[in-house]
């Protein structure tokens, strides 16, 4: 996650992103798909891994880009001659979470994510930085109260205190952002989570107010929800790209996703996966081979 350090100055001052900027506009886009995507609790018996809800669509950066570009052009027109507006999705050099809270989109929960009173926890953030001056909205008030369900829900104890997250223990970090070996002591807690984790988000009671998304509905990929793990281990680079091109799973690359698949298979402890894991233990990618050997050991210990 070195990109955070590289863009630290711009994140603190959006005027380095758009010179003479006067306004930052915060936008939220729901990806809530209803009860059909409640996190699986029986996945440890299914031979499948669980993908976080946000990643069960085509890549939202690509989906939102043309709409944000059109909105930025509209603001330029509304602002008059000389107005300059840049758009960004959550990967842009803007502190989108804090700006969204200041703009009233939602409030930062004890799990450190943004919660929308009408969106729950299931939304992406995007925004505009513009030289046009727009009257600000009032900031959001925190509505967590005494609730601490998200802290109790975290499988690895990554939420060390209310509003404090140790990213090094977060399953979303471990299975997506971490490029190397997953610490062995944390692998069992990953359970059946193949890519990302929704547990702290799903525990939040504000989700009962979330409405099913419309914009992203046509971009859902049902095949991404709970992929077959043994099938994943059979993918070479070309097959991996063919299956996951244009989806968030490409961020993990083959080496990362297959690494995660090995960990989940080790947690499932199903001897039927041993032939696939033995082949993976000879994979030309050392990261995959190392995690496959760990999984084999876990299954043999349980035999």
In three-state secondary structure terms, 143 is coil
How many helices (DSSP H) and strands (DSSP E) are in the chain? 13, 9
Beta bridge partners of 51: 195
Task: State how far the Cα of 151 lies from the Cα of 171, in Å rounded to an integer.
Answer: 14
Residue 269: name the closest of 193, 196, 156, 188 by CA: 188
Whole-Å CA distances, 220 to 63, 105, 227: 11, 24, 14
Task: State how far the Cα of 215 lies from the Cα of 116, in Å rounded to an integer.
Answer: 17
Whole-Å CA distances, 143 to 61, 153, 206, 222, 298: 29, 19, 9, 33, 43
User: Phi, psi at residue 114, to the nearest 5°?
Assistant: -85, 140
Give me the catalytic one of 20, 90, 166, 199: 90
Task: State how far the Cα of 154 lies from the Cα of 167, in Å rounded to an integer.
Answer: 12
| Pair 97, 125: CB distance under 8 Å | yes
| Cβ neighbours for 273, distance < 8 A, ≥ 6 positions apart | 47, 229, 230, 265, 295, 299
90 is catalytic: yes
Task: State how far the Cα of 217 lies from the Cα of 12, in Å rounded to an integer.
Answer: 34
Helices (H), the chain: 3-6, 8-12, 60-79, 96-102, 149-153, 171-172, 187-190, 199-202, 229-233, 237-244, 253-268, 274-280, 286-302
The residues annotated with a catalytic role in the active site are 90
């Amino acid at each position: 996650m070195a990109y955070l350090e590289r863009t630290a100055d711009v994140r603190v001052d959006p005027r380095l992103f758009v010179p003479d900027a006067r306004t930052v506009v915060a936008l939220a886009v729901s990806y809530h798909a209803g009860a059909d995507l409640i996190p699986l609790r029986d996945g440890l018996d299914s031979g499948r891994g669980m993908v976080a809800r946000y990643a069960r669509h085509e890549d939202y950066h690509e989906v939102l880009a043309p709409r944000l570009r059109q909105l930025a052009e509209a603001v330029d027109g509304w602002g008059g001659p000389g107005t300059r507006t840049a758009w960004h999705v959550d990967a842009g050099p803007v502190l989108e979470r804090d700006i969204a809270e200041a703009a009233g989109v939602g409030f930062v929960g004890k799990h450190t994510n943004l919660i929308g009173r009408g969106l729950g926890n299931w939304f992406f953030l995007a925004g505009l930085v513009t030289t046009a001056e727009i009257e600000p909205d009032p900031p959001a008030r925190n509505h967590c109260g005494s609730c601490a369900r998200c802290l109790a829900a975290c499988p690895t104890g990554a939420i060390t205190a209310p509003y404090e997250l140790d990213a090094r223990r977060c399953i979303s970090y471990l299975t997506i952002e971490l490029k190397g070996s997953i610490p062995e002591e944390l692998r069992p807690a990953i359970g059946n989570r193949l890519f990302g984790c929704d547990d702290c988000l799903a525990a939040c009671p504000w989700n009962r107010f979330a409405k099913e998304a419309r914009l992203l509905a046509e971009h859902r990929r049902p095949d991404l929800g709970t992929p077959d793990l043994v099938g994943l281990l059979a993918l070479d680079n070309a097959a991996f790209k063919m299956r996951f091109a244009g989806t968030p799973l490409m961020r993990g690359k083959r080496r990362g996703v297959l690494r995660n698949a090995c960990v989940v298979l080790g947690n499932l402890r199903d001897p039927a996966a041993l032939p696939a894991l033995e082949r993976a233990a000879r994979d030309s990618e050392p990261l995959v081979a190392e995690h496959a050997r760990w999984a084999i050991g876990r299954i043999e210990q349980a035999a």
